[in-house]
């Protein structure tokens, strides 16, 4: 404690220089924390979007992931009710969402457009998707609807076909036997996922309509939603074993190619940014300590003449660097925390990322572990930097130090 007190008092000897050093350390720390928090918030949003879209785990026949299908649902799941019963016996499984993927043409009578269709269970599918699917007009699909089959269209596709809720369309695709089949449907509503390239082809319909169109009772895959997304990796082997021989389970990460690409890019960008900021902080601390040491060279000689060891002097300067770096890092952490909290209430929006038509909230994740690591890292680096800078002067011959002007 005595040496720490000396270091604190020494830091106050030149208050202006210490204030500048502390301010730069604080701004550097805040910048690193805000950049890391923004990256983590982005990762969380992308991860949640990927998991809600496909499932925490995706169960399908092994060939579904390994081979291209020659005909629709060639590698589909044929024993869905039995498989559903087995998987729901797992206490960690909350939802099971069957899906049928198909492609073909959609026509309004005058114009035909290529479509990418998905047969779903409306009661659970839209509940899970939540904020990642926005209804532009009309209503969601209803499994209790009787009469003409209904579909939900991407808003860009609806504009291309010039249709609106209540309009009639015809879906045309190949069946599981390779023949052509068509079904007349009614537009229930339009939606947007924020990805124009997807919205200009996407169609949702209920499972019975998709099975009627493809002339099958099979499904393409099964989305498994657990009580916690973080359990996906640990539950994968158990779910795969429960599903039985011939089935494979993939995690949401295996399906989220966009997530991995963005994470890799952001890690490089913000990693380089954090390194540059840390170097600036270190140079500022080194400069401040160098000036302090030069000014106190004769004082160092006097202390050496009185019996103070070089190691003790280095420790004193190292603690002074720790005081400046640690105080600046703590101040920066508080500044980053205040800005992060303010952004929660500011309701600011980021511009749409490439390939998207809507922006997303500007927010910064608050991770106590990251705060602790950054503050400790800045403090440790400042301490090491001060110790290295002071080594030469602390070991200078006593006579030379006393004669310093």
Is 282 domain-assigned?
yes
The number of CA neighbours under 13 Å toward the Cβ of 54 is 21
- Segment 351-380 shows an average pLDDT of 84
Flag the least confident range among 159-168, 206-215, 288-297, 314-323.
Answer: 288-297
Q: Which long-range contacts (CB under 8 A, 24 or more apart) does 14-23 make?
A: 14/292, 14/295, 17/288, 17/291, 17/292, 18/288, 18/324, 20/284, 20/288, 21/284, 21/285, 21/288, 21/324, 21/328, 22/324, 22/327, 22/328, 22/331, 23/328
**Does 150 lie in the same domain as 95?**
yes
Domain end call among 219, 246, 278: 219
pLDDT at 256: 80
Q: What is the pLDDT of residues 369-378, one digit of tens each?
A: 999 999 999 8
pLDDT of 405 over the 70 cut: no
- Taking residue 227's Cβ as centre, other Cβ atoms within 10 Å add up to 12
pLDDT of 13 over the 80 cut: no
**Does 328 lie in the same domain as 282?**
yes
**Does 264 lie in the same domain as 170?**
no
Is 239 domain-assigned?
no
Domain end call among 190, 219, 248: 219
**Does 111 lie in the same domain as 210?**
yes
Report residue 10's pLDDT band, with 50, 70 and 90 as the boundaries: low
Higher pLDDT: 15 or 208? It is 208
Higher pLDDT: 216 or 295? It is 216
Is 18 domain-assigned?
yes
Is 123 domain-assigned?
yes
Mean predicted lDDT score pLDDT of the chain: 85
Report residue 114's pLDDT band, with 50, 70 and 90 as the boundaries: very high
Q: If you ran DSSP here, which 8-state letter would residue 352 be given?
A: P
Higher pLDDT: 276 or 351? It is 276
pLDDT of 4 over the 70 cut: no
**Does 372 lie in the same domain as 288?**
yes
Is 285 domain-assigned?
yes
Q: What percent of the chain has pLDDT over 70?
A: 94
- Grouping H, G, I as helix, E, B as strand and the rest as coil, residue 296 is coil
pLDDT of 401 over the 70 cut: no
pLDDT at 404: 60
Q: What is the pLDDT of residues 120-146, one digit of tens each?
A: 988 888 888 877 788 889 888 887 888
pLDDT of 106 over the 60 cut: yes
**Does 20 lie in the same domain as 99?**
no
**Does 97 lie in the same domain as 32?**
no
**Does 155 lie in the same domain as 93?**
yes
Flag the least confident range among 66-70, 198-202, 269-273, 317-321.
Answer: 317-321
Higher pLDDT: 106 or 144? It is 106
pLDDT at 403: 65
pLDDT at 341: 92
Q: How far apart are CA 125 and CA 129, in angstroms?
A: 6
User: How many domains in the chain?
Assistant: 2
pLDDT of 201 over the 60 cut: yes
- Segment 264-284 shows an average pLDDT of 84
Higher pLDDT: 208 or 70? It is 208
Q: How far apart are CA 127 and CA 145, in angstroms?
A: 18
Residues 6+ apart with CB under 8 A from 393: 293, 294, 297, 300, 313, 401
Report residue 163's pLDDT band, with 50, 70 and 90 as the boundaries: very high
**Does 263 lie in the same domain as 382?**
yes
**Does 82 lie in the same domain as 41?**
no
Max intra-chain CA distance, the chain: 102
**Does 83 lie in the same domain as 44?**
no
Q: Which domain holds residue 29?
A: 2-49+259-402
- Segment 96-119 shows an average pLDDT of 91
- Segment 59-65 shows an average pLDDT of 90
**Does 389 lie in the same domain as 312?**
yes
Q: At CA 340, angle to CA 278 and CA 373, rounded to 5?
A: 40
Domain end call among 163, 198, 219: 219
Report residue 362's pLDDT band, with 50, 70 and 90 as the boundaries: confident
Residues 6+ apart with CB under 8 A from 308: none
- Grouping H, G, I as helix, E, B as strand and the rest as coil, residue 319 is helix
Q: How far apart are CA 83 and CA 64, in angstroms?
A: 16
Is 58 domain-assigned?
no
pLDDT at 158: 92
Is 63 domain-assigned?
no
pLDDT at 305: 80
Is 280 domain-assigned?
yes
Q: How far apart are CA 93 and CA 90, in angstroms?
A: 6
pLDDT at 388: 81
């Amino acid at each position: 404690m005595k040496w720490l007190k000396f270091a604190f008092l020494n830091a106050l000897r030149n208050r202006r220089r210490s204030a500048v050093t502390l301010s730069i350390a604080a701004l550097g720390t805040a910048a690193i924390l805000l950049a890391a928090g923004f990256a983590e918030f982005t990762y969380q949003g992308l991860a949640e979007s990927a998991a809600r879209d496909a499932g925490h785990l995706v169960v399908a026949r092994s060939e579904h992931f390994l081979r291209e299908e020659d005909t629709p649902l060639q590698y589909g799941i044929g024993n869905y009710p039995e498989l559903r019963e087995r998987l729901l016996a797992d206490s960690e499984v909350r939802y099971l969402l069957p899906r049928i993927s198909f492609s073909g043409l959609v026509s309004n009578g005058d114009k035909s457009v290529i479509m990418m269709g998905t047969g779903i269970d409306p009661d659970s599918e839209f509940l899970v998707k939540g904020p990642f699917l926005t209804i532009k007009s009309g209503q969601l699909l209803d499994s209790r609807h009787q009469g003409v089959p209904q579909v939900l269209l991407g808003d860009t596709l609806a504009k291309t076909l010039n249709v609106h809720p209540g309009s009639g369309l015809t879906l045309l695709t190949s069946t599981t036997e390779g023949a052509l089949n068509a079904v007349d449907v009614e537009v229930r509503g339009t939606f947007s996922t924020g990805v124009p390239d997807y919205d200009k082809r996407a169609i949702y319909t209920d499972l019975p309509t998709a099975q009627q169109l493809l002339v099958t009772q099979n499904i393409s895959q099964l989305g498994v939603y657990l009580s916690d997304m973080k359990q996906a990796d640990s539950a994968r082997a158990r779910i795969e074993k429960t599903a039985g021989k011939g089935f494979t389970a993939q995690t949401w990460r295996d399906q989220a190619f966009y997530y991995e690409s963005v994470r890799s890019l952001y890690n490089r960008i913000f990693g380089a940014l954090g390194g540059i900021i840390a170097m600036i902080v270190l140079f500022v601390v080194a400069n401040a300590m160098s000036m302090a040491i030069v000014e106190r060279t004769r004082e160092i000689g006097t202390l050496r003449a009185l019996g103070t060891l070089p190691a003790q002097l280095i420790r004193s300067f190292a603690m002074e660097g720790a005081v400046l770096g640690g105080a600046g890092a703590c101040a920066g952490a508080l500044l980053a925390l205040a800005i992060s909290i303010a952004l929660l209430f500011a309701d600011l929006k980021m511009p749409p990322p490439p390939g998207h038509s809507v922006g997303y909230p500007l927010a910064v994740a608050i991770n106590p572990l990251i705060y602790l690591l950054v503050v400790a890292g800045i403090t440790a680096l400042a301490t090491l930097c001060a110790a290295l800078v002071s080594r030469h002067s602390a070991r200078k011959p006593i006579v030379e130090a006393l004669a310093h002007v």
